[in-house]
Amino acid sequence: MRKTKLSIGLTVSFLSAALLAGCSGGAQQQPPPPQVNVAQVVQKKVQLWDEFSGRIEAIDTVELRPRVSGYLAAVHFHEGSEVKRGQLLFSIDDREYRAAVDSARANVARAQSRVALARTELARSERLIKEQATSQGELDQRRGELQQAQADLSSMQAAVTQAELNLSFTRITSPINGRIGAALVKPGNLVSPGTSLLSTVVTMDPIYVTFEGDEQVYLKHQAMSQNGQRKSSRDARNPVQVGLANETGYPHKGEMVFVDNQLNAGTGTIRAKAELRNTDDVFTPGLFARVRLLGSGEQTVLLIHEMAVSTDQDRKFVYVLGDKNATVRKDVVLGESVDGLRVVKKGLDPKDIVVVNGVRKIFYPGAPVAPITVPMDKPDQAPPAPANPAAAKAGK
């Protein structure tokens, strides 16, 4: 009986020791905090810009239409090429118009002959009246005939001018320097004044970019003008920056030249134009363009990188470092883009250190992290390599 009790006691002791050993050796280790890139909020003085969507437009657009009817004889240009003012573009069969000129000139010669005859008859009547060999009535008749002949001559001369004009209208030239489009009518087709569109010519340099701003932006710029922060774009050629769909940023510079005199009641927007140089033919009328207009004087703002921003439904937020490198969520209100960073209108302090890369490693506010400091404009910068990898490995 005593052996049995002793055996049970030893078994319990062994089990207790095993359990204690298992508990001490199997305790779960907490994973190390994730490494994230952090950066100090940037605070500096900047000039803010308002951004718009716009379209490239030609300053001058001319529709080429015939001024006389006839059959199109020839096209004298390459479609889509540059043309000069006065360059021959289309010609209409001019044979009937040349004949009309010849006929009008013959009528002028006939009228000149009648004038000469009437002048001779008047001179004869004036001599005869002195000799009392004719009546005053006949003298007055001769004067009337001369005046009528001179009027007929003027009419015939005007007909020659009209016929010559019609003849010149059979040669359609470019009224401006620019780029011509496609030939919409081919030789052999009948064209008529006012109805037949032959082609279009647009100017290329300089060129316009047109855009529309909403009522809030308009009122903002109006207040700036009234407060003396800068002149109105109606009175001054304020700077704009332009970028095309395939370009990064706003590499092209321009100047404001027009702001409309009223807002469109249907859209609540006002139309504006800026002028750009186009010496290298970068711009083509109809292209989409991104436009920035100087929107403020110099002011101090807070800036962060776009990669630091997360979205929770309709709210945007960032994580900042708190005590003991715990993450703290802060909701933010963002503004314009400046030099690749976003303006923070509300939500951050200048001393905040923001998580700019590795936000997905933070599963809940308050989670600790291992911060690696990087520049705000380089959020994905890799951490520096250890100076002595072997020593670093040994230290681990």
Fold of 49-59+206-297: Elongation Factor Tu (Ef-tu); domain 3 (2.40.30)
Residues 6+ apart with CB under 8 A from 130: none
User: How far is the C-alpha of 201 from the C-alpha of 62, rounded, in Å?
Assistant: 5
Find out whether 118 and 149 touch, Cβ atoms under 8 Å: yes
pLDDT digits (tens, 9 = 90+) for 325-366: 899 999 999 987 777 888 898 889 999 999 999 888 888 888
Fold of 68-93+170-202: OB fold (Dihydrolipoamide Acetyltransferase, E2P) (2.40.50)
Domain chopping of the chain, boundaries: 35-46+300-379, 49-59+206-297, 68-93+170-202, 94-169
Say what the pLDDT of residue 339 is. 78
Residues in the chain with pLDDT < 50? 1-27, 391-392, 394-396
pLDDT digits (tens, 9 = 90+) for 116-166: 888 887 787 777 767 776 677 777 787 788 888 889 889 999 999 999 999
User: How far is the C-alpha of 287 from the C-alpha of 178, rounded, in Å?
Assistant: 17
**Which CATH number is 94-169 given?**
1.10.287
- Tokens at residue 106, please? 């013959």
pLDDT digits (tens, 9 = 90+) for 95-108: 999 999 999 999 98
**Which CATH number is 35-46+300-379 given?**
2.40.420.20
Half-sphere exposure (Cβ direction) of 135: Cα atoms closer than 13 Å: 3
Determine the number of helices (DSSP H) and then strands (DSSP E) in the chain: 5, 21
Average pLDDT of the chain to the nearest whole number: 85
